[in-house]
Every structure is written in C-alpha cells, then in structure tokens.
A and B are shown apart, each in its own frame.
Chain A
Amino acid sequence: MGQLIAQLEKKAHHLRVEMFEMCVRAKTGHVTSSLSCMDILIALYHGGLLLHNPEDPDWGGRDRLILSKGQGSPALYTVLADVGFFDKKDLDSFAQKEGKFGVHLQKDVPGVEITSGSLGQGFGVAAGIALAAKMNRELFLTYVIVGDGELYEGSMWETAMFASHNNLNNLVTIVDRNYLCVTDFTEDLIKLEPLKEKWISFGWDVKKIDGHSYEEIFSSLNSIRSRRSCKPLVIIADTAKGEGIESLSDLPLWHGQAPVKEDEIRECRNDLERRFNSE
C-alpha cells in the first residue's frame, strides 16, 4: 500500500502540473476547485477504487462517477486523459476555439457521465442512477463528488432525503469540503457546520477524512463493496481549495479562474515544485 501511495503522490504532482498548465494555456478554468478534488479523483481512477474501462467507456459494469461540481472538470479531464479515455493532446485545446471540452463538464467526452456546471443537479441524477441499479439488480456503485458550496442548493437536501429513504447504499457521495465559495469562506458566508450531523440527521452514514491523504481516502473506501449498512454513504473530505499551489490556496476570490500574469504563473509553478520536493 505504501508503494502505491508513493506512486499516486508522484502521479498527483504530474497531473496537478498538467491541469495547471492546461488552464494557463486557456487562460481560464477553475484551477483551485480542481486542485481540491484532484487527489480524490486520482485515488478513484488510479488507486483501483473505481471500476472503469477506458477501452469501453460505456461498459455496463462500470462504476458511475458523477462530478456534480462541474467546475472541477479540469481535474477530471486531466485524470481521464491520463487513464486513457482520450488522447492527452485534447487537453492542449481545453476551453479554446478548436477544443473538445471547456470550463464545465460535458457529457459527450469519453468517460464523462453527465453535463454539469449548474450546481445541485448531478447529485439527484446520481441518485436516479443508483436507484436504477437497485431496480436492475446491478452491482456497480455510483460515486458523486459534490462541492461544499453546492450544499447551499436546496435540491441537494431533497436528494439527500430521497436517497436515504430508498436505502441507496450503492450511492457514495464525496463532499469536497474546501470551506470556500466564490467570495468567502463557507462558515462566514452561511454556516454549513455542523455538517456531519446534518448528513446523519438526513439518514446517511458519514465518514470524515483528509481529502488529500491517500491513506485516509483508501481506508474510507477500501471495503466499500462489502459494506453492510443499508444507508447511503457520504464522505466529508476536508480539502484545500488550491491544494499544491500555496499562493492560490485557501484564498477567497481565486474561484473560477486561472492565473494570467507572468509573475503569478511563475510563482504557482514554483509552488507546485516546492510542494513536490517537500513530499
């Protein structure tokens, strides 16, 4: 396990750089939102947690991964390309005129299940997929990654109630808890805490982890297919919005953009290297 984690951390560094450079080229993309969920995506795709087949993206037995926080698409696109769902060259034209995909998530990209970007919707679609799996007696899991800011959407709690009432224990929700929205920290904006208790009261099993610790991501998901509970599971993953780039990390108003000034870009690159060398 230790060896795998070391490999994944190295992988995470390379993919953070790829994602960052992709957004710098395009002069857009939600860099910080992508960085907060990057390790989770890498653990799912490269850590053997998520059943998938890049040769056959629509393979019926695959686990469904719904990125409900569609602004994290640069992270998912980078990981999907790395796993082999499409050519890495496609990343070069991200969010550009000839590009195949842009700032938010797009359904027709191989490996992508739904279009998202409007918050509060992918979660409900994921619940529908999980319900269909139950009806069809299929064993795949439905993972859905939601942003913590997304939890302000009322529809999220409609779905949360529905999923637990219907015993959707095949639905795994990961809250990318980076504590930041666009303009402010969640707890200053409108308090989300006590978040764990909210989910418990909605009938969910809850685990709280460090979303940048591969040990903790694995320990929360390793036995996921043999889980006995009939409740859906939510993993509240504490993350940093901008993980890996200190100069962007955990700062309000860095949402939804890529650095464009030369000195900022240079500083970000230095941050990425420094972070890697310190590991």
Chain B
Amino acid sequence: MISKGDLTVNNTISQRDAFLTKVYELMAKDKDVIVMTADMGAPALDKIRKDFPGQFVNIGIAEQNAIAVASGLVLEGKKVFVYAIAAFITLRCLELIRVENAIMDIPLTIVGVGVGFGYESAGPTHFLLEDLAVMRSMPNITIHSITDSIMASKIAEISYDFGHTNYVRIDRHTPPDIYNDNHDFTQGFSVLREGDGIYIISTGIMTHQALKIAEKLNKNGINIGVIDLYTLPINVEPFVETVKLANKLVSLEEHFLPGGLGSSVLEVLNDNCVSIPVKRLGLSIKDGYCYRYGGREDVRNHYKLDEGNIEEEIKSFIG
C-alpha cells in the first residue's frame, strides 16, 4: 500500500511555474481549458496570456467575481483554473465557494499561491494559516497541498477532469524537488522515509523541514520516519493501515492548529479506534497573528515552529 517517495533532488522550478506549465500543455490540447487570474503575474502566466488570449481571463482584484464567473464558465463546459493569492481566493470569497462549488458541486480548480508564511515579509494579511481547516470542512472539495514542483505538475494534470472542486495550495518558495517524475500521487500521502515506529506527518513546505529534522535526528541515533500528507480529506484506509503500528506520531504544519493537518490525523485515528499518541506541531492561536519581517524562519520562530524548536519538541515527545 505504501508508495515510497524517491528522494532525488532536481534542479527545481517553482511550484507555480511547474503547475502553470502543465496547464499550458492542457490548454494547447483543449480549447475549453481556461485560466482565470486575479491580476497575478508570473512568467508561465505571461506565456499563457500571450499564446492563448482566448482562453485567458484576467478578472482583476475581484476574487468573489472570480469564483462566480469561473463557475458560470464551468456550467457551459469550460475547465477553469482560477489562480490567485491563496489567502484571498479561499477566505475572501469563501461563501461563494460554498454555494457554487460545495453546494452546487460545480467543479473548479482553485489555485492559491502563497500558503502559510509564503509571503514572508508581507505581514499577516497575506499569510494563510486557516485554509486547511476551512476548505476541508465542506463537501465536494478536495485539497492538494503541494510539496514540490513534480507534484505541482502532476496535480495540474489530474485537475483537468477531477470531477469536483480541487483546491491546490501552492507555496511561494521553491524547496528542492523530492519526488521523481513517475511518482503516483493518487494515494494522497507518501512515506518518504521509514522510521522505527515514529513518524512525522507533514504537509507542503513543512515536509522539507520534516526531512531535514529527521536526517538530523538520525545522525543522533533517532530513526524517525516522514509521511508527506498532501491530499485532504485523508484517504482513510491506506493511511490507517500505514500508521496503525506506529508508536508515536508528530504532525507538522505551517497552519493554525484548530482544524488543520494534525486535527485531520487525530480525527481519522480516533474514528478508526487507533490509539497512538500524537504531538501536533503547528501554530497556536494563543500566539495570535504577528508582524515580523525577518524572513520565514523568523516568523516561524515567533510561533516556536522554527527548525530548532521543532527538533526540541520532537525529542522531548519521544523521550
């Protein structure tokens, strides 16, 4: 059941450009593929704008209208990718997503860039620390939390005829690729590293942190595994099968703790009578929002989610 990630490091392009490059290919094959953007700029987007002007819609800084108009296009047979800043295309127009895409089940690909602290110096308005909780609470919406550019490209491909709404959360930063080109993402999670009964379950950019920390701990004789969980809702059966024999689990997310990745894991374990101690590492809402401009690791440090703090938390949890 376990699909093991191949830890090859490639010369990486951004998740955004990998995603949009694949969408470009889809547009070339099918004139019904439409890209809608809320006034976003990107090299791959410029190419789309130039080569497929009839399949490109710049809706302006109007996320509510983006969701409504895109849904109307889908009703008439278009396959629409809405691309915008993640915080705004999820939370600003949440109720439209609820009506058009959850209630009416109009399938849309919503591509949000800049999750977590991705817009590192832009302050809390541009951070997105609630989207997992919010978007997974509605029927007919699947979340794909992107880890690297290989995954971004593959998820763009499956978005083409996904059948329901697919929310793709893309990081602004470009960590090295960790998957190989042939990796199958259909399971919704991948065991990137085996451990001796202890796993970090992480998502998005934090999977790169998890791998680094696991490597470090391994050098100190602690063999800890890493599971990259990139699809929500969790693919329950194989997930439970994979983790049920673990002794301890750590969840790791750049997201507020209520309702996030760790909550998801706990729900699945609890509902399946799997009793394993889980340490949730993420952002405590007690720490509020913050205005810090020293880079992503510095913002993480405010929430004790920097590499050093995570390592200490894990060590003390596993004893």
Contact = CB atoms under 8 A, between A and B. Distances in A.
Interface of A: 107, 113-116, 118, 120-121, 123-133, 135-136, 154-155, 158-159, 161-162
Interface residues of B, number: 27
Contacts of A123: 68
B104 interface: yes
A52 to B, nearest CB: 16
Nearest to A138: B76
A118 B59 CA distance: 21
Nearest to B67: A124
3 closest A-B pairs (Cβ-Cβ)?
A: A128-B72, A124-B68, A132-B76
Interface stretch (B93-101, B135-143, B214-222, B274-282): B93-101
Contact of A155 (B60, B68, B75): B68
A167 to B, nearest CB: 13
Given A125-B100, A162-B60, A118 B73 contact: no
B72 A124 contact: yes
Nearest to A163: B69
A62 to B, nearest CB: 12
A116 B104 CA distance: 10
B68 A131 contact: no
Interface string B61-96: 010110111111111111000000000000000011
Given A107-B104, A155-B96, A132 B64 contact: no
A124 B104 contact: no
B65 A135 contact: no
B57 interface: yes
Nearest to B103: A115
B84 to A, nearest CB: 13
Given A115-B104, A124-B72, A128-B73, A158 B65 contact: yes
A158 B72 CA distance: 15
Contact of A132 (B72, B96, B100): B72
Contact of A124 (B34, B57, B64): B64
B68 A121 contact: yes
Nearest to A66: B72
A131 B64 contact: no
Given A121-B99, A135-B78, A155 B65 contact: yes
7 contacts: A114-B104, A124-B68, A125-B71, A128-B69, A128-B73, A129-B75, A130-B72
Given A124-B67, A125-B72, A128-B72, 9 more contacts: A115-B104, A120-B64, A125-B69, A126-B72, A135-B55, A155-B68, A158-B64, A159-B68, A162-B60
Contacts of A115: 99, 103-104
Contacts of A161: 60, 62
B43 interface: no
Contacts of B34: 135
B76 to A, nearest CB: 3
A132 B104 CA distance: 19
B72 A121 contact: no
Contacts of B69: 124-125, 127-128, 131, 159, 162
B54 interface: yes
A118 B102 CA distance: 14
A193 B74 CA distance: 34
B47 to A, nearest CB: 20
Contacts of A130: 72
A128 B103 contact: no
B37 to A, nearest CB: 13
Contacts of B73: 128-129, 131-132, 135
B59 A132 contact: no
A67 to B, nearest CB: 14
Contacts of B55: 135
Nearest to A108: B104
B72 A118 contact: no
A63 to B, nearest CB: 13
Contacts of B78: 132, 135
Contacts of A128: 68-76
Given A118-B95, A118-B99, A159-B65, A131 B57 contact: yes
Contacts of A132: 72-73, 75-78
A131 B65 contact: no
Contacts of B104: 107, 114-115
Nearest to B105: A107
Contacts of B99: 115-116, 118, 121
Contact of B100 (A121, A127, A131, A136): A121
A158 B62 CA distance: 6
A213 to B, nearest CB: 31
Contacts of B57: 131
A123 B69 CA distance: 9
A254 B71 CA distance: 33
A126 B69 CA distance: 7
Contact of B59 (A116, A126, A136, A162): A162
A225 to B, nearest CB: 19
Nearest to A120: B64
